[in-house]
Amino acid sequence: MLKKNEHRSLVVQLLIMAVAMFGFGFLLVPLYDVFCEITGFGGRTNAVAAVVEEAPDLTREIRVEFVTTVNEYAQFEFAADADSMTVSPGKMYYATFTAKNLAAVQKVAQAVPSVAPVSAAEHFTKIECFCFTSQEFMANEERAMPLQFIVNPDLPDYVDTITLQYTFFDTAPVAANLEN
Amino acid sequence: MNTAAIDIPHHDDHGPAKGIGRWLFSTNHKDIGTMYLIFSLTMFFIGGLMAMVIRSELAIPGLQFVHPEFFNQMTTMHALIMVFGAIMPAFVGLANWMIPLQIGAPDMALPRMNNWSFWILPVAFGILLSTLFMPGGSPAGGWTMYPPLVLQTGDAFPFLIFSVHLMGLSSIMGAINIIVTVINMRAPDMTLLKMPMFVWTWLITAYLLIAVMPVLAGAVTMLLTDQFFDTSFFLAAGGGDPVMFQHIFWFFGHPEVYIMILPAFGVVSEIIPTFSRKKLFGHDSMVYAASCIAFLSFIVWAHHMFTVGMPLTGQLFFMFATMLIAVPTGVKIFNWVATMWRGAMTFETPMLFSLAFVFLFTIGGFSGLMLAVAPADVQYHDTYFVVAHFHYVLVPGSVFAIMAGAYYWLPKWTGHMYNETLAKVHFWASTIFVNITFFPMHFLGLAGMPRRIPDYSTQFADFNTVASIGAIGFGLSQLLFVWVLLTAKKGAKASDRVWEGAHGLEWTVPSPAPYHTFETPPKARIANEAFE
């Protein structure tokens, strides 16, 4: 049988294992991000402007639907100017959204996009989007916000409708909002 | 086998300390094991009372006794207490008592840490239970603590997080202790593959604990910083994703369910050979099967999340990987049945509980297979079918195995035979009522009754009434268990071997097991004989 302090190396190894697994839990955060960006998991689309040059495929028609949601703690109105549009893959399109700050104070908002179905997410490319940065609104300010996008021609054949959904958040922390 | 020659308590001058100090500062594995078991039984009754509140409310449609908010607190607290307070500490208690006795070690490797890992638990659960009296009440968002809902918990929120931290700390320390004991302190000649199955399953469980409890600690830490320190791990507004919490939680959560069942496999693998008077069939294949289950538990977590949205390939992977677990589990069930084949079987209470375990755990396993089918899971998800499934694997699964182990080793702990007649009444009452409680829940779930609701539509009424009657019967039956424990010292003196067919080093020490055992390691010959 081993003497007491001869347990030390095994104990140290096991402690290192426990600490490493604690770290691994946090490592899952960036790993999850990378995973989502590669696979479009969670309806993730590009978060920064992208340039796409493709030959348009005018024989195909895809319906793009816009869905808007305002987070319960955000005092905003937010809607797409048109509920949907018909697009051809490979061609660039514009859409506008309108948001209004309902509060009598300055607010900073952020729109978070999500694309369904998941298999379409990586083929929906935003060239310019108000969702790339946070948006500052003066008290009661209302303004139009542009979106410029392209649907890649390599979109799978079985997809004929893409839903782009935005949730509009007030970027002040939820906790602070709860207290208001 | 002549046991007296091996371990006469030749050190009477160094018995247990007197008074409360014996328990507060104890470093003795038997004392700490006893404290774990008593703590676990206490939590079993507190969690059980909450279950009674839940079932009373659900006995008939409409709101009867409690407010919906309080009902949600009860479901959340019932789960947290039963998982972390009743089942896990019960197995740690059995491990503390039996592992040193089974491997011929004088004590656990790190006795002082052992004391800490126990005494953290009452503190953790004191904190958790105190939330019942806080403004806003206890956590009510479910034991899975999904954001953003859990972030709406009132003052209880940080207390929930810290109590989970403490439970994790206690489990990790316990696991380190068990691994070091098993690896470093086995009797001479006891190679790894000669170890009893209970020791083996606990060794694997301890590694699982070290691998996943820190991940849970990380996940709840992220919740804490999201709430108080402006991070946005799970807040979409800041670029986070609430679904990520579910991935991290179930990366912990799935191995956790095996943490709660592998030691149960171990206990049953000790008991069935004893009362079949045969060696365990396929000991080594049992070890490989348990290791396989442990490995697979790390790659199946997303089967808890089929409905949150996942690419088709992901659904297929998690579906097939989950179904694969049925293979090593099937090996285990086969081996238990094969052990009984042509054995000279007798049906004392530990054996009865083990047989019920094999049969009823398999029912839970089958409903698990049904849930693993991704397209079908869309209908079952978040219904009473899931409730029926996990209660079948946890109550007649883990809890029955703990009861079986308690009856099996009780004469070794107390030195007296318990009241076998009452114990058998306890068994039959528990088995009948557990089925009356949980079997109708399968039908409720398939008919579409959602879980975690205080009221329901009238077509679910009759089966709910049946389940509630069963639950109250099951709860009352457990009072018999307490009575058997309280009168455990009144029975006839137990022999050292206790059970005719028992093998293993724990049966070579006197009954009751003296305060100190195996101060000198058992001789290899005796150890070998114990395993034949």
Residue B289 CA to residue B292 CA, distance in Å, equals: 5
ipTM of the complex: 0.86
Nearest Cα to Cα of residue B186 among B200, B176, B206? B200
Q: Which two tokens stand for residue B514?
A: 């003296």
pLDDT in the model for residue B313: 86
**What residue type is assigned to position B18 of the chain?**
K
Distance (Å) of CA B505 to CA B267, B272, B358, B405: 15, 17, 25, 16
Q: What is the pLDDT confidence band of residue A12, given thresholds at 50, 70 and 90?
A: very high
pLDDT at B314: 87
Predicted local confidence at residue B530, as pLDDT:
53
* Chain A nearest CA to B351, separation (Å): 35
Say whether B280 sits in a helix, a strand or coil: coil
Nearest to B214 among A18, A29, A174 (CB): A18
- Our CA-based measurement puts residue B28 at a distance from the nearest CA of chain A, in whole angstroms, of 15
Q: Please compute the mean of the pLDDT values over residues B223-251 and round it to a whole number.
A: 88
Task: Note whether A106 and A163 are within 8 A (CB).
Answer: no
| Local confidence band at B4 (pLDDT 50, 70, 90 cut-offs) | very low
- Which H helix or E strand runs over A125? strand A124-129
**B254-284 confidence digits (pLDDT tens):** 999 999 999 999 999 999 999 999 999 999 9
Q: Among all residues of chain B, which has the CA nearest to that of A15?
A: B176
Is residue B417 a contact partner of residue B492, using CB atoms and an 8 Å limit? yes
Contact (CB, 8 A) for A63 and A88: no
**Which of B219, B235, B521 comes nearest A25 by C-beta?**
B219
Of B176, B238, B314, the CB nearest to A171: B238
For testing the chain A interface, which of B210, B246, B301 should be mutated: the one with the most A CBs within 10 Å?
Answer: B210
CA B325, chain centre distance (Å): 19
pLDDT one-digit tens code per residue, B431-482: 999 999 999 999 999 999 999 999 999 999 999 999 999 999 999 999 999 9
Share of chain B above pLDDT 70, in %: 96
DSSP secondary structure string, A158-180?
A: T--EEEEEEEEEE-S-HHHHHH-
DSSP-derived 3-state class of residue B520: coil
Nearest residue to B352 via CA among B259, B421, B278, B439? B421
- With a cut of 70, say whether residue A2 has pLDDT above it: no
Chain B environment of A119 (Cβ under 8 Å): 311-312
B230: confidence class by pLDDT, cuts 50, 70, 90: confident
Distance CA A83, CA A14 (A): 57
Q: Cα–Cα distance between B42 and B34 in angstroms, integer?
A: 12
pLDDT of residue B432: 97
* Average pLDDT of chain B, as a whole number: 92
Q: Which of B108, B150, B207, B248 to mutate to test the interface with A (most CBs of A within 10 A)?
A: B248
Q: Read off φ and ψ for residue A62, nearest 5 degrees.
A: -120, 135
Residue B395 has pLDDT above 90, yes or no: yes
pLDDT score for B526: 61
- Can B170 be counted among the known catalytic residues? yes
**Residue B244 near chain A (CB below 8 Å):** yes
Name the catalytic one among B55, B278, B303, B391: B303
Whether residue B17 is predicted with pLDDT greater than 90 in this model: the reply is: no
pLDDT for B139 equals 95
Please say whether the dihedral angle defined by the alpha carbons of residues B143, B127, B115 and B490, taken in this order, is positive or negative: negative
Q: Give pLDDT, residue B529.
A: 58
Query: In angstroms, how far apart are the furthest CA atoms of chain B?
Result: 72
C-alpha torsion sign, points B387, B390, B392, B394: negative
pLDDT tens per residue across span B324-365 = 999 999 999 999 999 999 999 999 999 999 999 999 999 999
pLDDT above 90 (res B66): yes
SS3 string, B379-430, reads HHCCEHHHHHHHHHHHHHHHHHHHHHHHHHHHHHHHCECCCHHHHHHHHHHH
Active-site entry in B194, B277, B451, B497: B451
Mean pLDDT of A67-86: 88
pLDDT of residue A115: 87
- Work out the pLDDT band at B381, boundaries 50, 70, 90: very high
- Residue A175 binned pLDDT confidence (cut-offs 50, 70, 90): very low
Provide the pLDDT for residue A3: 55
Cβ neighbours of B8 (radius 10 Å)? 11
Residue B82, pLDDT > 60, answer yes
Residue A121: φ, ψ to 5°: -55, -45
Q: Where are the domains of chain A?
A: 1-39, 43-179
Taking CA atoms, what residue in A is nearest to B184? A2
Residue B14: the pLDDT is 63
- Per-residue pLDDT tens digits for B144-183: 999 989 998 989 999 999 999 999 999 999 999 999 999 9
B241 labelled catalytic: no
Confidence band (pLDDT; 50, 70, 90) for A126?
A: confident
For residue A56, what pLDDT is reported?
Answer: 79
Topology of the domain covering A43-179: Ctag/Cox11 (Pfam 04442) (2.60.370)
The model's pLDDT over A131-158, given as tens digits with 9 standing for 90+, comes to 888 888 888 899 899 899 989 888 888 8
For strands A161-170 and A62-70, give the pairing.
Answer: parallel
Residues A64, A85: contact at Cβ < 8 Å? yes
